Amino acid sequence: MAFFEHNSRSIVKALTFRCIILISDFVIIFTVTRRYDITFGLMILSNFSSTILYFFHERIWNKIHWGKKIN
């Protein structure tokens, strides 16, 4: 039985991970800057680009069979 992960699963995983990162980014950036405008601007830019990169990273790893065990 071969392992396959649909694109939709990778998208949901990426989005849920981004939610965790958004919260931590907000806390860290706001603690440093004490400004909402800079905080939200950096959060939007950083998390949009990171989500796209994570999606492609996940799809590439899905094609690598190393570490997968087929029952």
Alpha carbon separation from 41 to 2, 28, 29, 38 (Å, rounded): 42, 14, 10, 5
Residue 30 is classified by DSSP as: H
Report whether pLDDT(7) > 90: no
pLDDT of residue 27: 96
What is the reported pLDDT for 1? 60
Is the model's pTM score more than 0.75? no
pLDDT tens digit string along 20-65?
988 999 999 999 999 999 999 999 898 889 889 989 998 998 888 8
